[in-house]
Amino acid sequence: PNLSLYEDLVLERQAVFQQYHDLVKRFQPSNDLQDASFQLVQQFQPILEPVEAARLVFTLDTFVRACSQRNLVYFMTEASLMGALRHHGLIPWDDDIDIAMSSRQWREIRNALGNIEGFQLYTPRASQWKFFMSSASSFPDKPFKFPYLDIFFYAEDETHAWAITKGLKHDLIYKKTDVFPLRFRPFEHLLVPVPCNLDLLVRSSHDIDLCVTPEYIHKTNRNVRLREQTSVPCSLLHGVYPFVWVSKSARAGYVDEYLMLGDTVLHKVSVVDGCSVST
């Protein structure tokens, strides 16, 4: 693993979401703590500390490199699909990364990820696997550490791919024509594979313009009751966190995506639009 990259990520993460921290400082310790804007910002505060976020992204970087070397098939799933589409990375108030992998390759996956110095692979039979840094934070009653990648397995036939891992079975039943060929999209500093019909798959089950706090906090292994969750129009957070804006591209079959923080463009990429364009 490239430890210098990890050190760079730690420094980078200390400056991430500066607008959030500036807003918090603006309200504290004044008498405006009941202000609606402050309450909103607090409800969508980052769960991950900078070092934790750096560990998670570094773990993903190591995972991507290992999969590339071994020709392992994977794609982002669950909330990480929303992150790739709407934020070009982690959802700012999320705390894990979700990945789907082919059950046909489970032995190769175990051998590849289970033998990386400085990392561990937790491989239970009845639930998702977890890949994490050996130096990550331990839970007193869990055999894995935080933060981690959640790895879910899927099976497939000629027409469909479906989840076989507990916890994802009701969320992943895709037409293979909506998944393959996989497309590569920005996710933090990386390019990661996602289903080719990413926009359709995300919008079929979520409102991309509605920002919702997590239903599960991985950092504390806690389910969040529905009445404790908050949902607001994402437009209220555009000045706090980066969001992706999409426009037509001059290149046929592509769209231009701008990662923006308020009115500031952080970067621009052109990505394939849908599954039909050959690359």
**The pLDDT value given to residue 210:** 97
Structural domain includes residue 78? yes
Confidence class of residue 239 from pLDDT cuts 50, 70 and 90?
Answer: confident
Using the predicted structure, report yes or no on whether residue 18 has a pLDDT greater than 50. Answer: yes
Structural domain includes residue 173? yes
Structural domain includes residue 80? yes
pTM: 0.89
How far lies 223's CA from each of 188, 190, 219, in Å? 26, 30, 11
- Residue 48: which domain range? 3-272
**The pLDDT value given to residue 40:** 78
Three-state SS letters, 221-256: CEECCHHHCCEEEHHHHCCCCCEEEEEECCCCCEEE
Using the predicted structure, report yes or no on whether residue 279 has a pLDDT greater than 80. Answer: no
Structural domain includes residue 279? no
- In this predicted model, what pLDDT tens digit does every residue of 136-151 receive, in sequence order? 999 989 999 999 999 9
Structural domain includes residue 130? yes
Using the predicted structure, report yes or no on whether residue 56 has a pLDDT greater than 80. Answer: yes
26 closest CA partner among 11, 42, 43:
42
How many independent structural domains does the chain possess?
Answer: 1
E strands, 20-172, are 74-76, 97-102, 119-122, 129-138, 145-156, 160-163
Structural domain includes residue 278? no
User: Which pair of structure tokens corresponds to residue 198?
Assistant: 């990413």
Q: Residue 62 and residue 56: Cα distance in Å, rounded?
A: 10
**The pLDDT value given to residue 12:** 77
